[in-house]
Amino acid sequence: MKSLRSISLFLLLFTFSTCQKDAYTPLPHVDVNIQILPNSTQYLDLNAVGGFVYLTANYPSRGIIVYRISPSDFVAFERTCPHDPDACCEGTQCARLVVDDSRLTISDSCCGSVYLILDGSNVSGPSNYPLKQYHVSFDGTLLHIYD
């Protein structure tokens, strides 16, 4: 009986600890394999906690938002809104997600959805999906962003 409880507790914890990076998204797959030096002068805005930059990525991506959570932790999100990826496009130009002045949220000017910058979760608006999040690894010098 005790081992059954242990197994149940393990499964419950495993379920709640799954990473959002693997969450379902209606966005198409994009091959992302980017390496940057976030402490360099090229990325001054990433030198401090709370800083962010926009990076270019392969089509059909509209780019990537990289945000520094702490001296050693970063997150990277797709700039395409998962609510209706084809909305607000004129020719080859489409609306892109932007970091708000508060640097706490990311907004879509097209549908009005707002997402928390720390984890990409939707805090308001019509979207039923979190932001598409890319994997990141940081060795203290090099930040690797990949899918």
Residue 141 tokens, joined:
């010098």
Please list, in sequence order, all residues whose beta carbon lies within 8 angstroms of the beta carbon of residue 119, skipping any fewer than 6 positions away: 20, 75, 130, 133
Q: Using 50, 70 and 90 to split pLDDT, how confident is the model at 32?
A: very high
pLDDT tens figures, 60-100:
889 999 999 999 999 999 999 999 888 888 877 888 999 99
Higher-confidence position of 23 and 118: 118
Q: Using 50, 70 and 90 to split pLDDT, how confident is the model at 3?
A: very low
> Residue 4 above 80 pLDDT?
no
> Residue 20 above 60 pLDDT?
no
> Residue 138 above 80 pLDDT?
yes
The CATH number of 29-146, from 1.10.3720.10, 2.102.10.10, 1.10.10.10, 1.20.58.100, is 2.102.10.10
Identify the DSSP state of 118.
T
- What whole-number distance in Å separates Cα of residue 70 and Cα of residue 111? 30
**How much is the pLDDT for 131?**
97
- Mean pLDDT, residues 13-42: 73
Q: Using 50, 70 and 90 to split pLDDT, how confident is the model at 23?
A: low
Q: Report the Cα–Cα distance between both ends of the chain, in Å, rounded.
A: 41
Q: Radius of gyration (Cα) for the chain, nearest Å?
A: 17
Residue with tokens 């930040």: 143
